[in-house]
Amino acid sequence: MTLFDSVLALLIAILAWRSVTAPDLYRGIVLFITLGLMLALSWARLDAPDLALAEAAIGAGLLGILLLSTWRVLQRAAPRQGSDEPASYAVRWLAVVGSTVFGGTVAVALYGLQVGSDRAGAEALASLDLAGIDQPVTAVLLNFRSYDTLLEMGVLLMALIGALLIRSPLAYEPWHGDTAVESPLMSVLAKVFTPIVVLVGIFLVWAGAYGPGGAFQGGAVLAGAGVLLLLCRRLYGDADATLLLRGLLVLGVTAFIVIGLLLMPWQGAFLAYPPGLVYVLLVVIEFSLAVSIALSLLLLFTGTHAVRAVRS
Amino acid sequence: MTALLTVAAVILLKLFALGLIRIYQGPSESDRILAVQLSGTTTVGILVLLSHVLAMPALIYVALLFVLFAALIGVAFVRHPGIGSSS
């Protein structure tokens, strides 16, 4: 295994280096996707299957698709006006100083870490019985540190709002042609493959209750199904959001807060769950989080306020 | 058995490194994306082997995700996400 690890570390370093120094955009994207594959392997070697799942779904998968689609749009668009001159020396030196300071600070912080002092982790594992759910990662995310996860969902919403404000949409008009006479592969992908992707997504959300998986990984896979439908022209990005869609976007945060507040009179604390109901409540929260995450990621892909089905 | 599987995983990883030559040299865009698909398949193989060697059944799910997203990456490569017909 030592040989495996050293080859893996070497490959990650080479791929990371090459993906930022690639001569053109497309090569950089391709190398970045390949880097994602290796990073998932490294998470697997670090005993973190949850992160390997997240890396596979978000890092290599969705992000790779987003980059490839952006590259397609850029390729089709008119050649960019303006100069491609490198930044001035002052800016470059500023970047060098900034990265060096940041890297140095991280190195100092890492050096200060004491091995074996992860008492919070040990305590979480020891009190797993209280969490009412077998999977340590889910127990920490949704029960012990649920406040962090709630705020994280808020951050995701903020990111979506910010992205919608500043970026131009990627997929924004309905397909007027007849979908039936299009490439036969597309209808098979939309009708046969998409349900399988959705099924895997739902399975991953549900798997979070007893093993690696969870709302983020499952939500990313569900968003992947949506992206597939977009690329197959079964969905398109639309400018006007319906109330239902906005409701689904905030469903995760709302479910979290409502359940937390409703149980307050009995539990005496925000986001404290009664022992008997913990499993059911966490699964409900997890699925509502997954819906919001999937929709947010899909809208981050289209860059529009809504998605709509193409009427055939 | 575990030793044999570990050796197999190392060999697959080295084959992955060899595949990088095609990703880097190209020459065409399709060559590169096909090389990425090939490295994806190799990664799936490594993950399946590792799930047995490390006794982590969840790595099979990771492999499953890579298989699903490999198809999506292929579609994203050939389709234009915006308006109009595309090749």
- A236: which strand partners? A308
pLDDT reading at B83 higher than 60: no
What is the least distance, in Å, from the CA of A141 to any CA of chain B? Answer: 18
Would the CB atoms of A34 and B23 count as touching at under 8 Å? yes
- Please report whether residue A65 resides in a domain: no
Cβ atoms A236, A308 nearer than 8 A: yes
What confidence category does residue B84 fall into, taking pLDDT thresholds of 50, 70 and 90? Answer: very low
What pLDDT score was predicted for residue B85?
Answer: 40
Cβ atoms A295, A159 nearer than 8 A: no
What pLDDT score was predicted for residue B86?
Answer: 38
Mean pLDDT of chain B: 85
Would the CB atoms of B82 and A18 count as touching at under 8 Å? no
Average pLDDT over residues A122-147: 76
Residue of A nearest to B66 (CA): A56
Least CB–CB distance from A30: residue in B32, B62, B76 = B32
Amino acid, single-letter form, for residue A272: A
What confidence category does residue A31 fall into, taking pLDDT thresholds of 50, 70 and 90? Answer: very high
- Please report whether residue A72 resides in a domain: no
Ramachandran angles phi, psi of A236, nearest 5°: -145, 155
B79 in contact with A at a CB cutoff of 8 Å?
A: yes
Could you tell me whether strands A235-238 and A306-309 are parallel, antiparallel, or unpaired per DSSP bridges?
antiparallel
The SS3 assignment for B34 reads: helix
Number of domains in chain A: 1
CA B49-A214-A128 angle, 5° bins: 95
- Please report whether residue A120 resides in a domain: no
> Which residue range(s) make up the domain with A173?
135-312
More confident site: A128 or A307: A307
Query: Which residues of chain A lie closer than 8 angstroms to B64, CB-CB?
Result: 200
pTM: 0.84
- Please report whether residue A95 resides in a domain: no
More confident site: A176 or A63: A63
- A10's tokens: 């070497």
ipTM (interface pTM) = 0.89
Average pLDDT over residues B45-57: 89
- Please report whether residue A211 resides in a domain: yes
Strands of chain A, DSSP E = 235-238, 306-309
The owner of tokens 């998605």 is A307
The SS3 assignment for A237 reads: strand
- Please report whether residue A192 resides in a domain: yes
- A88's tokens: 């001035």
- Please report whether residue A53 resides in a domain: no
Ramachandran angles phi, psi of A24, nearest 5°: -130, 170
C-alpha to C-alpha distance for A214 and A288, rounded to whole angstroms: 11
Average pLDDT over residues A90-109: 93
pLDDT reading at B87 higher than 50: no
Per-residue pLDDT of A221-263, as tens digits, reads: 999 999 998 888 888 888 888 888 889 999 988 988 888 888 8
Q: Where are the alpha helices (DSSP H) in A77-183?
A: 89-112, 119-126, 128-131, 136-139, 146-166
Average pLDDT over residues A196-212: 88
- Please report whether residue A173 resides in a domain: yes
